[in-house]
Structure 1
Amino acid sequence: MIDQQGLNALIAQEEARFIQTNPRAQALAAQSAQHWHNGVPFHWMLDWGTPFPLVVEQAQGATLTSVDGQQFDDFCLADTGAMFGHSPPAVAAALRHQASRGLGYMLPGEDTLKVGALLSQRFGLPYWQVTTTASEANRAVIRWCRGITGRRKILIFNGCYHGAVDDVFVDLQDGAPRLRPSLIGQVADPRQDTVVIEFNDLPALQAALHTGDIACVLAEPVMTNVGMVLPDPGYWAAASAMIRAAETLLIFDETHCISSGPSGESGRIGIAPDLFVIGKAIAGGVPAAAYGFSADVAAAMDRVQRDRPPGHSGIGTTLSANALAMAAMRAILEQVITPENYAQMLPLADRLVAGLREVIAHHGLDWHVAHVGARVEFICTPRPPRNGTEARAAMQGQLEHVIHLYLINRGLLLAPFHNMALISPATTAAQVDRLIAGVEGLAATLSGI
């Protein structure tokens, strides 16, 4: 147990240190508040646990430099958007080349053919479409699944996050579905058409599918947005068999699970979904996402469209598959998301996991470390959670607040959501060791209060 009074004092001490070392960022934050709501162009820029946001001068590889001249070892990497490093040289070169040749024209270019083939080779599904965000891709696949099956309902897992998709903002509380508090201004009640169950609960999945009205199951193969929740051994083999027996479509959202390897977590475990969503990192930070689907799904999509006028699916935006995004995706797929880069990333992730576990054991902390490939997280509870309810119960807001603030003040950036660190091809062993040392200093400090 950590003394609450001591924890409050540590937060105040670290906030004072942050203010003292970031005067330029503080001044810019005050100026920005004149025109940006709460001083930032998007609200999650306030979620870092600091009195005001850091302001970035530049970022390269796995290093970020602030306007106050501080350098940070960046393990957040834009919460996966820059998972392969900031401005990978291949992507930067592709963007420079494309910038003078047109940014978007609602027509395919030569990159289009290459990107389609690369996506199919990498993720094993023959047909693809491109969107601007993973949120948009998830909305699209949900609608396609409803159109194909003629069923209204979708199934999700408690604690999931699939972007800004209203249908999935449903949680379980005491076994009953409830609207997520962050669902603002929604008129229709998603609970009418969204079924939510706990992850790793095969009987609950079987019972939900038995009704025969579930169009699709939308899931991350490893839950990563409520902390990290790993599947039980054999869970997805059994679950996917149940889903197919119910003639329900399986969607894997691997926007985060691309950390597992070049083909994502589904490629690693050998479970083929009907539809597959990938976003954020797929264009190196340029807004882009894609969804792939099987030949059977493609044929069903054609049947749905057969009696409709052209262009009336209501799926997609004008900027989808723009030329700049396609150039970036081609560069990432050809030169960055490679087995060679994962061969560098995964051992460094193992090094971080081993170091964090040693720190936790040395200080007798009731914490544990979870990881999925190049994604590593230390969680302030002794046992790994098996579902969203257990994961939420393990969260300790003030403790996570001081963890992030303490590490930022020592030049170390974790993702602002949970205690998550990403290893990129540009990350070095020295950076990993500095993070381990930072957590060691944090643990010693917490042990003393």
Structure 2
Amino acid sequence: MIDRTRLAALLGRERQAYRDRNPRSAAAYERAKAHLFGGVPMTWMNKTAAGFPLYLAEARGARVTDVDGHEYVDLCLGDTGAMAGHSPTATVDAVAERFGGRGGATVMMPTEDATWVGAELGRRFGVPYWSFSLTATDANRWAIRLARALTGRTRILVYSYCYHGSVDEVLLVVGPDGSQVIREGNVGAPTDPTTTSRVVEFNDLPALERELAYGDVAAVLMEPALTNIGIVLPEPGYLDAVRELTRRHGTLLINDETHTFSAGPGGCTGAWGLEPDIVTIGKAIGGGIPSGGYGLSAEVAARLSGMSGLDLVDMGGVGGTLAGNALSVAAMRATLEHVLTDDAFTAMIELATRFTTGVQAVIDEHGLPWSVTQLGARAEYRFTSPAPRDGGSSNAAGDPDLDDYLHVYLANRGVLLTPFHNMALMSPATTPSDIDHHQTTFTSAVTDLVA
């Protein structure tokens, strides 16, 4: 239904407007190329719809301002890293007190804040014993090591086009012929992940049962809903069946709630009454300060503690000098206690519903074969209908030109989406007027496209 010639012309127009309105960001990017690999602090910052990234000047709440002085409604929110909003007051105060007031960001000593955070995460996610990291990637790595130690098995099962950070074991997908292949673009893999892992499509129970039947899978590492290839929701009964199959085959179940935390105060695990053996999480719980963690069920913790010869103190690799440091733990406590509260999630989810309803109305008005999917406080539109049921079909539905057009169109009018996909996330600081601004701009973008 899309006139590709018209799309190309509109995309060219919007990219030129972007270049014209952001000369300082363009100049900063050119200067950075002399000193930064790829011209950016992290190479994923080159994922931009218009040729160069916007440079940050300041951020507060759900708004950011770039170095050219343009203010944006930020629906990206650091791809969940700033789900609490930018620099929430309670977190800022706790960090200032810990770092500047009492001092001691990292001293290799525990703080009482850590006990509070562990108890609160246990309340939310239903697994009682917690340990901390600086990223969800590390939390996943350590959870995998524990699962292998506990089961004596080597393989990890993941889902095609899942996202668990840069964990080596997860970078494989289901190929066109159903085979298991290295994911395209996997850089410098230390070993072929098809030898360390098994992969199936989300919502495919027969495939899951087939792969678990080999008896060599230590753990299924899953997002309860796929999030980084577009939101893919579980079909009714699927997650219950996953739990039953993993138990039957002696396989641990790890829920990575880093992105699915948007589903509610306890992520999908809490919202849907799930019963994982291990939960991993990162990004959002620190309010912008690097933090993450993994939680263990009582049974898993008891079994690990009872294993003789398992070094969990020194050379076991389950930790890091800065993991659980006083500063990140203080940030986690403040964020969970005062910012990302149960009441805050209620309001955030209501705003995401407002977003979803508005986008669906535009899709329906123009009869577009698109879809929009909501996961709690997070929503995302895809250029296919019905919404994909697995990672492979979601990947196949990608349309880079449409993605770029909407991203740069919205940015030129003061709205930021996540660069990797069309994801919008709500924070406690997001307002109805922010959502309405997106709605007006999205409507205009679609009208220009189909006119």
Question: TM-score range, shorter-chain basis?
Answer: over 0.9
Q: Distance in 2 between matches of 1:343 and 1:118?
A: 18
* Equivalence for 2:371: 368
* Equivalence for 2:61: 61
Q: Describe the superposition over 1:240-261 as per-residue Cα deviations: whole angstroms up to 9, x where unpaired.
A: 1111111110000000111111
Q: Does structure 2 conserve the Cα–Cα contact (< 8 Å) formed by 1:170 and 1:178?
A: yes
Alignment of 1:163 with 2:165, yes or no, is yes
Q: Does structure 1 conserve the Cα–Cα contact (< 8 Å) formed by 2:84 and 2:284?
A: yes
Structure 1 residues 153 and 324: CA distance shift in structure 2, 3 A: same
Deviation, 1:308, is 4.2
Q: Distance in 2 between matches of 1:310 and 1:197?
A: 35
- Matched letter for residue 9 of structure 1: A
Correspondence for 1:430 among 427, 430, 433: 433
SS in 2 for 1:28: helix
* Equivalence for 1:77: 77
* Equivalence for 1:24: 24
Correspondence for 2:244 among 241, 244, 253: 241
Q: Distance in 2 between matches of 1:307 and 1:168?
A: 25
Structure 1 residues 309 and 420: CA distance shift in structure 2, 3 A: closer
- Matched letter for residue 42 of structure 1: M
Q: Distance in 2 between matches of 1:34 and 1:188?
A: 33
Correspondence for 2:417 among 414, 419, 436: 414
Listed as ranges, the matches of 1:242-281 within 5 Å are: 242-281=245-284
Listed as ranges, the matches of 1:306-317 within 5 Å are: 306=309, 308=311, 310-317=313-320
- Matched letter for residue 157 of structure 1: Y
Q: Describe the superposition over 1:215-246 as per-residue Cα deviations: whole angstroms up to 9, x where unpaired.
A: 10000001101111110011111111111111
Structure 1 residues 308 and 278: CA distance shift in structure 2, 3 A: closer
Deviation, 1:213, is 1.3
Q: Distance in 1 between matches of 2:349 and 2:190?
A: 45
SS in 2 for 1:377: strand
Q: Distance in 2 between matches of 1:402 and 1:378?
A: 14
Q: Distance in 1 between matches of 2:202 and 2:184?
A: 21
- Matched letter for residue 380 of structure 1: F
* Equivalence for 2:404: 401
Correspondence for 1:131 among 130, 133, 141: 133
Q: Does structure 2 conserve the Cα–Cα contact (< 8 Å) formed by 1:131 and 1:137?
A: yes
Deviation, 1:413, is 0.3
Q: Distance in 2 between matches of 1:425 and 1:435?
A: 17
Deviation, 1:116, is 1.7
- Matched letter for residue 342 of structure 2: P
Correspondence for 1:143 among 119, 142, 145: 145
Q: Does structure 2 conserve the Cα–Cα contact (< 8 Å) formed by 1:147 and 1:304?
A: no
Correspondence for 2:344 among 316, 341, 345: 341
Q: Describe the superposition over 1:343-364 as per-residue Cα deviations: whole angstroms up to 9, x where unpaired.
A: 2111111111111111111112
User: Percent identity between the aligned chains?
Assistant: 45
SS in 1 for 2:288: coil
Aligned-residue CA RMSD in angstroms?
1.2
Q: Describe the superposition over 1:103-144 as per-residue Cα deviations: whole angstroms up to 9, x where unpaired.
A: 101110121222222221222111011001000010111111
Q: Does structure 1 conserve the Cα–Cα contact (< 8 Å) formed by 2:132 and 2:294?
A: yes
Q: Distance in 1 between matches of 2:312 and 2:386?
A: 54
Q: Distance in 2 between matches of 1:91 and 1:166?
A: 32
> Which 10-residue stretch deviates more, 30-39 or 439-448?
30-39
Correspondence for 2:359 among 356, 359, 372: 356
Q: Distance in 2 between matches of 1:248 and 1:235?
A: 17
